[in-house]
Amino acid sequence: MKVLVPVKRVIDYNVKVRVKADQSGVELANVKMAMNPFDEIAVEQALRMREAGNADEVLVVSIGPAQNQETIRTALAMGADRGIHIEAPHEIEPLAVAKLLKAVVNEENPGLVLLGKQAIDDDCNQTGQMLASMLGWAQGTFVSALEIANDKAKVTREVDGGLEHIEITMPAIVTVDLRLNEPRYASLPNIMKAKKKPLDSKTAGDLSVDIEPRLTIVKVEEPESRAAGIKVADVQELVNKLRNEAKVI
């Protein structure tokens, strides 16, 4: 079985995000970028499946500018077999991403698509669900445990009320959560080997997909600074402030 893993290039989670002066977006110039952490977990899970004999190839795909090839090479250094880079000159909305991935799925015919549950830059949490709908495949989202047996996948989902255990039919779309695994570090020999692994480049035109944005960003603002806490003398003063100032009771 072939496993397809889409990966996104985002601002490194250790970097403080800053809004541009014109409030048109966030500052990306001279900012450290990295693979989306949830996507990194998806890559690790695909590699573990191959090592367990449940998959024979791990294919990584990324959509974006030329720098996205660095993100693909990171996945290849972790152990993925080959990569596909779909060139895109601007930020791609989740619907367009899902359409591009659908085209790749139709070409590559994987048995499983593993995605991060969301990207840490826009937090949309939409692509996996849209892709499943377009393909008509079963889906398991927010997955913290995954077991493949024959043509079934047993998944444990993290939901508001606790854990949900479901069984879905393959082929399927699975979006992964933080507690699924701990991604490995790429060794130096594997980093060198990754430079020779196949990496194909395509465009949205090659896949006959329209990626023109349907949404317009009006303005991006930083959240308000958190006010300093205060001490109250007694319960009566606390209740008074909650009622008259915070207006929560």
Low-confidence ranges of the chain (pLDDT < 50): none
Nearest to 81 by CA among 4, 143, 172, 167: 4
User: CA–CA separation, 2 vs 58, rounded Å?
Assistant: 6
Tokens standing for residue 236:
């009566």
Q: Looking at residue 90, what is its pLDDT? A: 72
Q: Which fold has domain 2-244?
A: Rossmann fold (3.40.50)
Task: Give the tens place of pLDDT for each residue, 88-113.
Answer: 887 789 999 999 999 999 999 999 99
pLDDT at 214: 86
User: Which one, of 146, 127, 120, lies nearest residue 45 by Cα?
Assistant: 146
What pLDDT is attached to residue 247? 84
β-strand pairing of 33-35 with 9-11? antiparallel
Q: Give the pLDDT of residue 229.
A: 84
DSSP of 4-59, one letter per residue?
Answer: EEE--EEE-TTSPP-B-TTSSSB--TT--EEE-HHHHHHHHHHHHHHHTTS-SEEE
Boundaries of every domain in the chain = 2-244
| Tens-place pLDDT, residues 178-201 | 989 999 998 899 999 999 999 999
Q: What is the pLDDT of residue 60?
A: 96
Q: At what angle do helices 37-51 and 68-78 cross, to 10 degrees?
A: 30
